[in-house]
Amino acid sequence: SIYSPELVTAQEEYLLAIKSKNILSDSQFADISSSASSLLESSRRRLELLDVSASQIKELERTGKVKTNLTVYSPVKGHVAQKVKFMNPHLNSETRTVKVRLEFPNPDLRLLPEMYADVTFYIPLGEKLTIPTSAVLRTGRQDIVFVDKGEGNIEIRKVELGQKAGGYYEVLRGLKKGEQVVSRANFLIDSESKIQAAVATWGEEPQGDQETTQELELQLEKEIDNDSETRQPQLHNH
């Protein structure tokens, strides 16, 4: 089922040709009557060239109504072997979804019509500076990481994150390659209110190249769980 302005115009011209033929068929002038018949025939031929079926043309003649969407039928029976990839240019306002047609090899016929499936798209993004998702504290207003400065000192750093892929966040701003960030941290802080107060006093996004950072001396528990670790931001391909 397709919409085509050309198809709509062709239907309108055909209906107009029918009306002209009915009006001018009894004309005393043979040339006028002949021209009306020729116009009707050429208008019908145009519909046929646009793959409008004979039954659809008869319905158009019977109803006198132009269809904005016409169904194009295959002239033969069989199985569809190949289709043109397609993404619907219109969004469904109710479901907030877009229909797409994808192509998959299916030699053993494991994929069947009307079957549901989950599809994952792998998009090459090149090399990006990334950190584990577990290293990020998302407060809603800003994204925070803990940078290990050594000797028991931890720096709270605001970062700007990009895309997420494979358990990692892309770091757009706030960290450099080689800096150690705490991930899956099971460390204890001597006063949790220190972090809460520090984060709460931070302003909005930094202006220009100015970085908003704040260092806190945090007392690390001596017996840190083995799962606690620090990691360097890495370059990963996703």
Instruction: List, for residues 195-217, the tens digit of each pLDDT value.
Output: 555 566 555 554 544 444 445 44
Q: What are the structure tokens assigned to 78, written together?
A: 């069989």
Q: Which of 198, 152, 143 is nearest to 174 (CA)?
A: 143
Pairing of strands 153-165, 127-132: unpaired
Task: Give residue-wise pLDDT tens across range 47-97.
Answer: 999 989 899 999 999 999 999 888 888 778 888 777 777 888 888 889 999
Q: Which has more pLDDT, 109 or 228?
A: 109
* Model confidence band, residue 183 (pLDDT cutoffs 50, 70, 90): confident
- What are the Cα distances from residue 238, in Å, to 124, 126, 165, 173? 6, 7, 7, 18
CA distance 227 to 238: 25
Predicted model pTM: 0.41
Residue 29 neighbours by CB under 8 Å, 6+ apart: none
Structure confidence at residue 210 (pLDDT): 46
Task: Give residue-wise pLDDT tens across range 146-169.
Answer: 898 888 788 888 999 998 888 899
* Residue reference for tokens 């219109």: 90
* Helical H segments across the chain, by residue range: 5-24, 30-49, 54-63, 192-200
CA distance 91 to 208: 38
Q: Do residues 146 and 185 lie in contact, with contact meaning Cβ atoms separated by under 8 Å?
A: yes
- What are the Cα distances from residue 129, in Å, to 14, 147, 162, 168, 238? 63, 15, 10, 10, 11
Average pLDDT over every residue of 122-142: 85
Q: Do residues 182 and 191 lie in contact, with contact meaning Cβ atoms separated by under 8 Å?
A: no
3-state DSSP assignment of residue 165: strand
Query: Residue 218: pLDDT above 70?
Result: no
* Residue reference for tokens 């892309």: 170
